[in-house]
Each structure stands twice: as structure tokens, then as C-alpha cells.
Structure 1
Amino acid sequence: MSARDVAAVDGGGAVRPRRMKRCVLYLGGYDPVTPQRFFARLWRQAERFRATWTVDFSATPERPSADGAIWSAAITTRTDDWQTETDFRLLAWDDIVKSDFARPLWRRLPLSFGVLADFIVSGTVFRYFMTAWRFGLYFIYPYFIVALFIAIAAIVAKLLHHFLPVPGALPIGLAVGLAVFLGLMRWPGERWFTGHLLDARTFMGQYLRGDRPDMEARLERFAAELVAIHRTGGFDEIVLLGHSQGSVFALEIVDRALRLDPEAMRSGPPTTIVSVGSCVLQLGLHPAAEPFRQRLRALAQEPALSWTEFQALTDTVNFYKTDPARLMRLGEGTTGRFPLIRLVKIRDMLQSEDYRRIRNSLFRVHYQFVMGNTRRYPYDFFMICCGPERLSVCFPTPNYPVRDAQI
């Protein structure tokens, strides 16, 4: 029985709540947070959901698959009028992120600046600024911080060399300058997520060029999970929700699943892709991403597949007021349909005092897409995952102005 069905009446005249059974596969971004920490945060945020919407919310303890790539929990949400059972599955790739973090700095910096050179020479950085200047600033932000740290270290080395009246002042100045740079990268660099963002740029640049076999293998594993869900059946709705870089890989998973077992993927309930805080255009605007765009063109022709993207002005990580289909030249008939664009306001998701606490934190605003609201608002992460209505019912039409750009 779907959530659109009216409440049923049993033999004794009692009204039974309408029921929905949903499977949600959640794919986060380039984040080293472990599954245990993710679920701890999820359950804390669920308290907000319970209070905001006045619902009963219960969940089983999260449990990993044999290989640790999939973590799942069963969630039940109910009111007097409806009840939803959610099979929530976290698609984990934090181990891949942590392996990148473990590389020494002398390797990480050249790799990241090599990606910057690639994206500048290809014109991709300029497309970012033409399309969504806030994302352009976000993209170059860690490189600017590193350049600032280098400048400070160089000034210290220069001053020591100039004012230190001892033999060997030059090597001493250089050594102290290097120590200053390394210290700045550790603090305040870590507090400002400098190394994290540099590695994220490197990762996406490598994936673009087909140089991440570890992620390719993980995506195949996730695709097999999606196919298995379709084969098992029993759900009214299947939602694949990608946040940040996870939005790119949500699309890639569906493409792989369709190639793995097209018949299973086209049977049963349709798969709905949801992208929030989306980085799809970070990849899609690069000239070398033509294979990725070709895969999206094929996905757009699948009748059993839909894609909805939520965009917000105050989230600098997404491309606000853009249509990825038009910007990536996916072809006639995709604009306004694949994806369906919905513009939302993060400040309206939260009580005024809650929004004031987070509005100056770039990443906290970015993560509000996947946290609990403290005000009732059409976009609510937990309502998408645990609410009574299909996404196509809650958000049936687009509300965006189209922008253009050259690839």
C-alpha cells in the first residue's frame, strides 16, 4: 500500500493509518566520518525531527554488511494518520578518504596543485565563476590559504636571513620558514579544512581522469546493492540520496546498476535520485568529463528513473539556480526534467536562533541538507527518508530560472 492510499477501515470500524515502505540509500561526500559517528549524528538529529513534526520515531541499532561497505538500520515513523517503515542504508567510503589523508604532505600538495593547473588550463575554473561564482570561490579557497601560508613562511625566512647576524643564516631562515609553513598547515590549516579540501580537489580530479580504481570498485559494490534491493522488492519507493560529492556518485551507481541488471532495475518501484549540496557540475563542467555526460544522457532516457536536485543560495558548495542538464548539454527534453530543480531556503528550515548559530559556518550550512529541521518546511531530510509521501508528490514541478554556460 502506498502513502497515497487513503486510510483503511478494519472490520470493527477502526481507521488504520496509511502505510509506506521505503528503502533509502544514503551516500555522503568526501568525508572521513566513520559509519558509527554518522549514525550517532543521525540519531541526534532525529530528535529534532521528532520534536518538529510531532512523530513517533524508533530505529534498530545500525549494523554493517560482511565487508563493511553497507551499514543499515530499520526506522519506523508513525503518527495517528500514517506509518512509514524505512530501510536506511549508508553507503560507506570513509576508508578511502582516510587513506588519502594518510599520504604525506609532500605528496598531497603537488597532486592538488596539479589538479588546479588542469582545471585552470581546461577553463573549468572560469566556468565555475561564470555559472556560480560562490562555488568558484569555494573551489580556489584552499589554494589561496596555502599560498597565504607560503607567503607568511617566506616572510619569516627572509627576516631571519636579513637580521640574524650569524654564519648559516640562510639555511636557518629556510628551515624556520619551512617549520612555520608546516605549523600553519596544522593550525589553523586543519581548523579551516585546508588539507581536507585540497585532498577533495585531488580526488575529484583523479576520478575524472579514471585514476581512482578504489572508488570504481566501491561504486560497483554499491551498484550491486541497489540491484539486490530491486530484485528483493517489497518497497513502495527507493531513494538514492547523494550529498556533496556523493551526488556525483549516486548517478554513477545507478548507471552501473542498469548495466549490471537492466531488467531488475526497470521492474518494481522507480528509483528516485536526490542530490543535495550537489557537486555534479564540479565534474560535469570539465571538458574531459564527456564520458560522464554520456552516462547521464543514457540515464535521462530511463522511464523508471527520476532525479530531483535541491539547491540553496547560502550553501556555497552547490550551484545555485542552475540546470545541470542544460549546462552539461544533455540534450533536448532533459531541461527541467532531469533533474527536477527545487530551490529551498536553509534559513527557513531552522528557528531564527538556530540559523544564527550556523549561518557563518560554511560546512555547517552545507550539512543542514542532511540534518534535522527545527521548523516545518517543505524540504526536510527526515521527511524525505521517513515521511508518508513519495518525493514526486511533495515536489512535482520545478521552480528555477535556467542559466547557460559553455563547456
Structure 2
Amino acid sequence: MTTGDLANAPLREPSTTAGRPVRRCVLYLGGYDPVAPEKFFARQARELGHFRTTWDVEATPTPARPSPDGHVWRTEIETRGDGWTVETDFRLLAWDDLVKGDFARPIWQRIPLSLGLLADFLVSGTIFRYFLAAWRFGLYFVAPFFFSLLFVIAAGMAAALVLRIDHPLAPWLAPIVGVLVYVGLMRWPGNRWFVSHLLDARVFMGEYMRGGRPDMEARVDRFAREIVTVAAEPGLDELLIIGHSQGSVFALEALERALSLDPEITRRDLPISVMTVGSCVLQLGLHPAAKQLRARVQRLQAEDGVDWLEFQTLTDVVNFYRTDPARLMRLEPSPDRVFPHVLNVRIREMLQPTDYSRIRNSLFRVHYQFVMGNTRRYFYDFFQICCGPMVLRERFSLAEKPAARNHTEA
């Protein structure tokens, strides 16, 4: 089946379910985002409306509710189409509280942390590897440092102007004015350009890579236990772990840790797939110090019961377009296994022309389209994947057509 066929084909019921509802559990890991779970599920409910309209289906979610520790939020979505029913157990693996904690740090802590991170990634050559692999991501990575430098220059110019004033207090006032100008620019236009947000995200991932985030280590372990619990539930037709943006790293790591807790989860005749979108796996994977991440992904590659699908697009600067993450991380290839399956998609084709025109110049809105509702039928559709009747490997013909495992859309 070609990508065009997938876009226009009606949703159908796979023969493997023998007429009963398809049961799927989706574990979703978002990126470095302070959005609370309540707002996440409000957005999901809105986007489900696009799914209903685009594919002429019924999709009814239950109210989202948290686990006792608040780290996993859950809703059930029942979807009905022409002759089929799907029951989706959708679970948000939340870590927004850690992001908010970073946002609360004072600026005098954030500046040296971001400068240290920049020095690390420069000296290690990682930033240069970004530009060689995907120059758009390279520009995206250095952008907040560039804007911060511009703000420093503007603050320095403001301080210099104060020093030119013939007044005995000028030498005392100059540094104060410089600091105030820098702080003001970081708030506006800095907040509008997400400068502090992006700097914090860079620092967070760098700290995690070097073992400096025990809070996130504990959270990923918690997510791994959730995977083990779900995999033991009877009657599931698919377990799907989705990582968006920085969440792509933690999706892979959580599954590998789950395998360490219970090596039998891939031997229960349950299709298990990891889907990474707007992926930042190579943000860490290209750093020489990310040995643990590469070792964990290598272990997943050795598990025949696990598929990894990576969706990439030119329009989203956050991902590494037209790259093979395993090859760039120099993992040992398997002669009879494709890992990951890289599929290139077009954001433009997911949306009606007016909808695409509205978002095309919004970097983060384009980035989030991977996990929002389409307004146009297309072979990649987040809610079809989560709520449609076909398991991921069947939807993209991974099992049936080994020779055509890497779909591309120019």
C-alpha cells in the first residue's frame, strides 16, 4: 500500500480481532512543556472533534483522572466507525511539574547553567554534528543562545550610555541599568520568542544525559513500571508508546527499563511499538557522553517484539529530517531488522489549506501538529493511530511488506 492509498483508504476492521472491539493502550510522553494535564486533555478533546469530522467517526472520551501519585493521567476513548469499534486506554505520562520547577529558578542560576551547557556541546563537537546531520535543527538549537547574546549586547550598550553621563553615580547606576535591560529583554520579547524556555530545555536534557537529574530518572523509572503493568493486562491488541519532542528520548528509555524489570513483556504475543514524532533523540544521541542512551536503544534493537517508528518532516525544525537515528548514533545494525522505520511526512497534507496557512509560520504550532487532529485525510493521522482499528505495524505495512518498510514523502 502506498502512502497515497493510506491517505484515501477507509478505516477498516483488521481480521485479527474477529469482530470484537480492538483494545489498545497508548502511553504518551510529551516534551519539555509546562502545560498541566488538565489543559492537555482539554486540548485533546478539542482535537478529537477534528478527528470526528475528518474521518466521519464517533469518538467519546471519559473524563481524565490521575493516578494516586499524579504522574499518570488516564482517559478511555471509545471510537466507532463503519463496522468497527476501538477502545483506547490513553495514558499521559506527566512530567510538567519538573518543567515548572526549572522555570521557577532565578535568572542568576539559569545564565551560568545555560553557558555551561553551550560550552559542553561546543567543545564536544555536538553542535557541529547537528549542522552536519540536520542544519535546521542546528539553527534551532543555537537560536536561544544567539538571542540571549543579543540581549547582553543591548544591555551592555545601555550601560555604556549611562557611563557617558557626567554624574558621580553613573558608575554605580550603569551595571544596574544593564542588568535591568537584560532581564527586561528576556521577559519581552524573550518570552514571546521562548528564549528562557528553550535555554531551560537545553540545560535539562544536558543534565539528564550526564546523570544530573535524579528527579527525571525516578520519573522514567515510574513510567517503566507503568509499561510493565499495562503489558500484563489481558486482552490488549496493541501497546503503543508515543514520544513527542524531548519525550521521544524518555519513551525509548522507559521501554528499555521496563524490559529490565520484566523481560517477558515482548514474549506475550502483544504488539509493542514506540512511535517518536518531532523527535529529539539525536539531540542527546549525537553527544559523545550519551553512551547510556545509545546502549539502551541498542538493547531495544535486539528485541524482535518491539517496533520503533520515527516520523519526520521538513517543516518542523525541531526534528532531524531525513536521518536514520540508529546509523547516526553508530548502533550495531541488524542484518534482518529495520530499526527504526523512518517515515517522512508532510504537515501541509494533514491540514486544509486555510488551516495550514494559519499555522505555517508558527514554529511550535507546526511542531505540535504531529500530535493534533488532522483536518484533511492523510496517511499520518495521530488520532487514527491512537483510536483507529489497525495496529501500527499493520497500518504502515511493517509486517506484511518487509521490502517497503521505509515510506517516504518528499
Same fold per superposition (TM over 0.5): yes
2:156: which partner in 1? 154
1:141: which partner in 2? 143
State whether residues 313 and 321 of structure 2, in contact with CA within 8 Å, keep that contact through their aligned partners in structure 1: yes
In the aligned structure 2, how far is the partner of 1:232 from the partner of 1:335? 30
State whether residues 266 and 303 of structure 2, in contact with CA within 8 Å, keep that contact through their aligned partners in structure 1: no
2:14: which partner in 1? 4
State whether residues 150 and 181 of structure 1, in contact with CA within 8 Å, keep that contact through their aligned partners in structure 2: yes
Q: Which runs of 4+ in 1 moved over 3 A?
A: none
CA RMSD between the two structures: 1.6
- Percent sequence identity over matched residues? 59
2:60: which partner in 1? 58
2:22: which partner in 1? 20
After superposition, what is the alpha-carbon deviation per residue over 1:309-357, rounded to whole angstroms, capped at 9, x for unaligned? 0000000000000001111111122797111000000011001111111
1:108: which partner in 2? 110
In the aligned structure 2, how far is the partner of 1:88 from the partner of 1:360? 30
Gaps of 5+ in 2: 1-11, 398-404
In the aligned structure 2, how far is the partner of 1:315 from the partner of 1:118? 25
1:207: which partner in 2? 208
1:236: which partner in 2? 237
Deviation at 1:3, TM superposition (A): 4.2
Deviation at 1:400, TM superposition (A): 5.2
Gaps of 5+ in 1: 9-16, 402-407
After superposition, what is the alpha-carbon deviation per residue over 1:220-253, rounded to whole angstroms, capped at 9, x for unaligned? 1111111011112221011000000000000000
Within the alignment, does 1:292 sit opposite 2:300 as a pair? no
SS of the residue corresponding to residue 125 of structure 1 reads helix
In the aligned structure 2, how far is the partner of 1:258 from the partner of 1:7? 26
1:399: which partner in 2? 407
1:340: which partner in 2? 341
SS of the residue corresponding to residue 235 of structure 1 reads coil
State whether residues 28 and 93 of structure 2, in contact with CA within 8 Å, keep that contact through their aligned partners in structure 1: yes
**Which of 70, 73, 77 is the matching residue for 1:71?**
73
In the aligned structure 1, how far is the partner of 2:260 from the partner of 2:13? 30
- The structure-2 alpha-carbon separation of the partners of 1:334 and 1:357, relative to structure 1 and needing over 3 Å to count, comes to farther
State whether residues 266 and 306 of structure 2, in contact with CA within 8 Å, keep that contact through their aligned partners in structure 1: no
The worse-fitting range, judged by mean Cα deviation, of 388-397 and 275-284 is: 388-397
In the aligned structure 1, how far is the partner of 2:106 from the partner of 2:16? 59
In the aligned structure 2, how far is the partner of 1:84 from the partner of 1:105? 48
In the aligned structure 2, how far is the partner of 1:304 from the partner of 1:336? 11
- Summarize the alignment of residues 41-56 of structure 1 with structure 2, pairs less than 5 Å apart: 41-56=43-58
SS of the residue corresponding to residue 333 of structure 1 reads coil
State whether residues 310 and 343 of structure 1, in contact with CA within 8 Å, keep that contact through their aligned partners in structure 2: yes
After superposition, what is the alpha-carbon deviation per residue over 1:199-235, rounded to whole angstroms, capped at 9, x for unaligned? 0000010011011100010111111111011112221
SS of the residue corresponding to residue 66 of structure 1 reads coil
Deviation at 1:265, TM superposition (A): 4.1
Deviation at 1:266, TM superposition (A): 2.7
2:316: which partner in 1? 315
The worse-fitting range, judged by mean Cα deviation, of 67-76 and 389-398 is: 389-398
State whether residues 3 and 388 of structure 1, in contact with CA within 8 Å, keep that contact through their aligned partners in structure 2: yes
SS of the residue corresponding to residue 288 of structure 1 reads coil
Deviation at 1:81, TM superposition (A): 2.0
In the aligned structure 2, how far is the partner of 1:112 from the partner of 1:60? 41
In the aligned structure 2, how far is the partner of 1:180 from the partner of 1:298? 50
What is the TM-score when the length of structure 2 is the normalising length?
0.93
In the aligned structure 1, how far is the partner of 2:407 from the partner of 2:62? 37
- Summarize the alignment of residues 239-258 of structure 1 with structure 2, pairs less than 5 Å apart: 239-258=240-259
Deviation at 1:399, TM superposition (A): 3.0
The aligned amino acid for 2:222 is: R
The aligned amino acid for 1:354 is: D
In the aligned structure 1, how far is the partner of 2:226 from the partner of 2:20? 28
In the aligned structure 2, how far is the partner of 1:158 from the partner of 1:204? 36
In the aligned structure 2, how far is the partner of 1:225 from the partner of 1:207? 21
